[in-house]
Structure 1
């Protein structure tokens, strides 16, 4: 029996390693499928994702029937053995993984904010088709359906719910999490709470030997851009928060940029420069969760980033700028379970 994990981010990597060690799985049987993410620590057999292996035009044409090609891909990485899948989300390739005839069981593990959200709308269950309304018969929607059909996706596969809580009724299924707030609709008896399981040497690798004791960390996010928070209000709430946390201008605050962001295009960096706040941008290779494990008494500031959750879970103090907005916009983030308990108001 093989054990396949899908990993695409630092938190899914942390969960994967911790589950492997919690369940005492043999490393020779562990297969980690990565998706545009380089693992900082090698564990088990690491393979690049199906989409990454088929990026070239020639390979895209060769694998036009994605379902058949994906089954061949799974057969190759498992050497034809049966397997148990551990997945973070139920996206297209995860759907193909769990419906493979060799998959005997699949489990979920948390992957960020989505794992803490309560499904309130129909779109929460159909995330892979979120751009289409339920009764939209426009050309684009029809074209997407035809393309899916040509690529081998049956209506049964396509109709599998996106939301992980839809699959809890198989009582053998486990939901691995770092806190009790995760997977809010799932029975407590199905949840397996785990703790990060890393050696001191591994933590040093994850945090790039940074230890920010008694420091302030600001999280760069897309929230203020998506919900049109203007510069003046953004500056005011950052200043108010730093003031309440006893920030002095001779102090240095630290910034964790998004993976796709750079200093020159970060709005947060620009605003801090305007405010003459002394800051240091953390190296991109730092895994924030590793930093939380290596540091003591951090104060972490953001809007709705999952890093606010993990900082709190790992023993630090988290503060959300949301609470200082004059007109807080309604968003899907309002359904985050445990947000008020884990993230503090000022």
Structure 2
């Protein structure tokens, strides 16, 4: 039996390692499939392959509701089904396999799940913040119409905005999930199995007494206005900054935005050390205890809460933005 794990983030990587350890899987029977150009500096002897381009192509094949594009999209869809079926054949040598994925919303995951050699699928936790409206198998009326009239109830792919299957989807069996937070998948899985992240040493010295300010790329991702976000950061710093602090920026945050925020600490006459991007903060919450974590709605705060750290969210400061209220509707709150 081959075990295929789809990974595009540090969280998925660490959770996948936790699943491999929990199930005591022989590493020779495991394949890590990377996408979104994910790379890790964490050493592992598990075989890996990157299919970022094909995963991205699959993500876009059915974004259009236009019937005019149906035949064009069908050709692309058929080509991608063939690609993933050939991928399975190559990497499983024709054996049965089990599939470990974050959800069934992505068409690549649907194609892999409906391959005849797929013995069973499992969900693995990919983030820290539960997206509650997606934790269901219910398909909206519009998506159901699209699946029937446009896709003609295709046996390999379907359009949905939810994560779980139901009795009418091409993959229709109940799903078990692996998670490090028992509440992440709500009550949607048949069973949620808790796993532990590995303790991997990190090459950075941490003073556990300093506060950590954990930010997200909300402005760059269009979730909130820049001025409002910066004002909220200033309030956060004024309220919780101490003489020496750490800050963790989001990769999407630009140099200009980072410089502006770092100057807020200087204005308060506080020292601040920027944590390096190549050190996953997920490893910091695993390796240290009783950290003081401050921020708004980043998943890093939810990781901290899951691992017993002192967490304070001032997300209420961002709720003044209508744009942010729309974005955060249905998301779990701290």
Residues 1:8 and 2:23 aligned together: no
CA distance in 2, matches of 1:121, 1:2: 27
Is the 2:215–2:250 contact (alpha carbons within 8 Å) kept by the matching residues of 1? yes
Cα distance per residue 1:255-313 (max 9 Å; x no partner): 22223445x24x24423315525322212210111011122322222221111100111
Residues 1:68 and 2:71 aligned together: no
Residues 1:107 and 2:103 aligned together: no
Residues 1:119 and 2:133 aligned together: yes
CA distance in 2, matches of 1:53, 1:94: 9
Residues 1:220 and 2:215 aligned together: yes
Is the 1:118–1:185 contact (alpha carbons within 8 Å) kept by the matching residues of 2? no
Cα distance per residue 1:173-225 (max 9 Å; x no partner): 311111222111325x61111222x24xxx21xx3333341222222312245
Unaligned runs of 5+ in 2: 58-74
The DSSP-based 3-state class of the residue aligned with 1:273 is: helix
Task: List aligned pairs for 1:248-263, cutoff 5 A.
Answer: 248=242, 251-261=243-253
CA distance in 2, matches of 1:107, 1:280: 39
Is the 1:117–1:333 contact (alpha carbons within 8 Å) kept by the matching residues of 2? no
Question: Which residue is 2:262 aligned to?
Answer: 272
Task: List aligned pairs for 1:1-346, cutoff 5 A.
Answer: 1-35=1-35, 36-39=37-40, 40-49=42-51, 51=53, 65-90=79-104, 91-113=106-128, 116-119=130-133, 155-159=154-158, 161-166=160-165, 170-171=173-174, 173-186=175-188, 190-196=191-197, 198-199=198-199, 203-204=200-201, 207-225=202-220, 226-231=222-227, 233-245=228-240, 247-248=241-242, 251-261=243-253, 264-265=255-256, 267-274=257-264, 276=266, 277-325=270-318, 327-329=320-322, 330-337=325-332, 339=333, 343=334
How many residues are matched? 300
Question: Which residue is 2:66 aligned to?
Answer: none
Counterparts in 2 of 1:219 and 1:68: CA distance versus 1, 3 Å: same
CA distance in 2, matches of 1:53, 1:186: 25
Counterparts in 2 of 1:313 and 1:32: CA distance versus 1, 3 Å: same
Is the 1:235–1:275 contact (alpha carbons within 8 Å) kept by the matching residues of 2? no
How far is the alpha carbon of 1:163 from its aligned partner? 2.8
CA distance in 2, matches of 1:228, 1:336: 15
CA distance in 1, matches of 2:232, 2:238: 10
How far is the alpha carbon of 1:104 from its aligned partner? 1.0
Counterparts in 2 of 1:184 and 1:63: CA distance versus 1, 3 Å: closer
How far is the alpha carbon of 1:156 from its aligned partner? 4.0
Counterparts in 2 of 1:167 and 1:88: CA distance versus 1, 3 Å: farther
Cα distance per residue 1:31-68 (max 9 Å; x no partner): 1101111232224221112636999xxxxx99981111
Unaligned runs of 5+ in 1: 56-60, 127-132, 138-144
Counterparts in 2 of 1:208 and 1:44: CA distance versus 1, 3 Å: same
CA distance in 1, matches of 2:165, 2:292: 35
Q: Under a length normalisation based on structure 2, what TM-score does the superposition of the two structures give? A: 0.77
